[in-house]
Chain A
Amino acid sequence: IVMTQSPLSLPVTPGEPASISCRSSQSLLHSNGYNYLHWYLQKPGQSPQLLIYLGSNRASGVPDRFSGSGSGTDFTLKISRVEAEDVGVYYCMQVLQIPTYSFGQGTELEIK
């Protein structure tokens, strides 16, 4: 399954909203009703951290300005009001098919 993110670079003014798109080459909607799609943020110099799991569920400790939506092949990560600490590279990841879990190319968010 090929994961395609857009844009690849996203300059944002603090306090403004931001949106990242992730499209999969196959539907990630499982027969159980869950979308097998996660979102991660890799801050500069750090390992990735889980933001959103199963398409729309915020991970523990993740601020509510982050939200995930979408179903099937089209997904979106939204940040309602970008803060300076949100800089880094955002990745979507599909966990539908073992052993071919795969990530998007990454979207680099920078502050204007």
Chain B
Amino acid sequence: EVQLVESGGGLVQPGQSLRLSCTAAGFTFGDYAVHWVRQAPGKGLEWVGFIRSKTYGGTTEYAASVKGRFAISRDDSNSIAYLQMNSLKTEDTAFYYCIRGFAVAGTYSLDYWGQGTLVTVSS
């Protein structure tokens, strides 16, 4: 069974940093991309960024709202992806989901989602 479990959320002050982890199981982690999507409480979904599999270079892409502040990395040997969040703002408050990215027809299907972890940025 495919599983993704996020951890590391919590309450931080504006300007501080936080690192989220996404631990995967039930599939060959290194063969897939990992995407991050966030959802402010009671709001819609916002794509944050993703990291390609090593097969596709292991490179990253980010939404404009987080570029330069957030960084995604991966440890394929332990089936973990990370979202390093720096210079956090109050508007970064959200549930953060990690999602498996299945490469199909030249794009990605975000097919399995974790349960999410809540990040609250407040003074």
Contacts and interface: CB of A to CB of B under 8 A. Distances in A.
Given A59-B111, A99-B61, A91 B45 contact: yes
Given A95-B107, A96-B107, A103-B44, A47 B61 contact: no
A102 B109 contact: no
A93 B63 contact: no
Contacts, number: 68
Nearest to B47: A101
Interface in A84-112: 91, 93, 95-96, 98-106
Interface in A29-67: 30, 32, 34, 36, 38, 40, 42, 46-50, 53-54, 59
B116 A50 contact: no
B106 A32 contact: yes
B109 A53 contact: yes
Given A50-B111, A54-B109, A103 B116 contact: no
B46 A32 contact: no
Interface in B94-119: 97, 104-116
A22 to B, nearest CB: 13
Given A91-B45, A103-B46, A32 B105 contact: yes
B107 A99 contact: no
Interface residues of B, number: 25
A106 B47 contact: no
Interface of A is mostly: loop
A100 B61 CA distance: 9
Contact of A47 (B63, B106, B108, B116): B116
A49 B113 contact: yes
Interface in B53-102: 61-64, 67, 97
Contacts of B108: 95
A42 B45 CA distance: 10
B104 A47 contact: no
Contact of A102 (B47, B61, B110, B112): B47
Contact of B63 (A46, A59, A100): A100
8 contacts: A32-B106, A34-B105, A48-B113, A49-B113, A93-B110, A100-B47, A103-B44, A105-B44
